[in-house]
Amino acid sequence: MIVITGGAGMIGSMIAWHLNTVLGRDDIVIVDRHKHAEQWQNLCHRRYADYLDKDELLPWLESGVKVDAVIHMGAISATTERDFNLLVQDNFRYSQRLWQWCARNGVPLLYASSAATYGNGEQGYDDASIENLRPLNGYGYSKHLFDQWALRQAEAGNAPPQWCGFKFFNVYGPNEYHKERMASVAWHSFNQFRETGTVRLFKSDRPDFKDGMQLRDFVYVKDAAAVVAFFLAHADKSGIYNVGTGQARAFLDLATAVMTSQGREPSITWIDMPQDLKGKYQYFTQASAAKLRAAGYSQPFHALEDGVRDYVQNYLMKTDAYC
């Protein structure tokens, strides 16, 4: 049995998709708490054994069930969340309890960290070390806090037999509509272009970046799911790993790919950066992929244009856009 927390979320539901369609597994327990009325649609195409509310999981685990692995994708993922006590409870304490159960019971734990832990990138984006990182928001810090705790536990010999923390970079793709404001620029671009005939992008408020040339490491969600599945199959690999392409691309490139994938001419409208993002907005992210490749993951990542084309043409442009 494989447990996926956040299993109705974007990455979690796509991990379930990968397990179903690529690996032929349906011995899955989905754990989540829906906050969007239509989020059930992320699960309606999936095959799984049971569904639990997040508060049901730990008592269920303690009942003596046999579990092969816990894939912990559940979290408050909004970078704008201001209630740090809530972030601590959901992103730190809950993760600690899962870690401790997995360590006691000899069960692998694969969990979601975040590239938000790198802050503005002044220390680089190398997963070889997490020392001296300065996240820009409470969400990023809550993830960093757990990464630090996990490393201390591992060094003290209090770890699950396998543990992996995945620093996901800018993930886009099917099943993200429920994230609303926090959904990817690809999702927002598609909907803006369909409704208004133009895509709105933030102006740069830094002189060293032109408008639209803010750079991110955009990762197609199918690639993110494939990385998790790789580590699920390689129980000898533990540690914290970047999940990114290693190639930064501009927001303008992404928006243009969304529009041309629909067979239409691009149109951009520039808007001011919101006040709540100023000073907390990453202008450049690019994963170091050396550690991931050294672990044996050799599959190529989708090029930006290819991932966007698949997302737009095979999901967003169809009536049933869910994977």
pLDDT digit string (tens) for the chain, length 323 residues: 999 999 999 999 999 999 999 999 999 999 999 888 889 999 999 999 999 999 999 999 999 999 999 999 999 988 888 999 999 999 999 999 999 999 999 999 999 999 999 998 889 999 999 999 999 899 999 999 999 999 999 999 999 999 999 999 999 999 999 888 889 999 999 999 999 999 999 999 889 999 999 999 999 999 999 999 999 999 999 999 999 999 999 999 999 999 999 999 999 999 998 887 777 777 899 999 999 999 999 999 999 999 999 999 999 999 777 88
Q: Where are the alpha helices (DSSP H) in the chain?
A: 10-21, 54-62, 84-87, 94-105, 138-155, 185-196, 221-232, 251-260, 290-294, 304-311
C-alpha 238/C-alpha 255 separation (Å) is 36
The active-site residue, picked from 51, 54, 179, 283, is 179
What is the rounded CA–CA span in Å between residue 109 and residue 28?
Answer: 15
Q: What is the pLDDT of residue 37?
A: 84
pLDDT of residue 274: 86
CA-based nearest residue to 17, from 179, 220, 186, 191: 220
Q: Are 82 and 137 in contact (CB under 8 A)?
A: no
pLDDT for the residue numbered 214? 94
2-173+218-247+285-303 placed in CATH 3.40.50.720: yes
Question: Burial of 149 by CB count in 10 Å (0-12 exposed, 13-18 middle, 19+ buried)?
Answer: middle
pLDDT at 38: 87
pLDDT of residue 145: 97
Backbone phi, then psi, for 261, in 5-degree steps?
A: -65, -20
Q: How many CB atoms lie within 10 A of CB 37?
A: 8
What residues does 202 pair with on adjacent strands? Answer: 271
From 48, 94, 125, 139, active-site residue: 139
- Active-site residue flag, 220: no
Active site residue 297: no
Residues 65, 41 contacting (CB under 8 angstroms): no
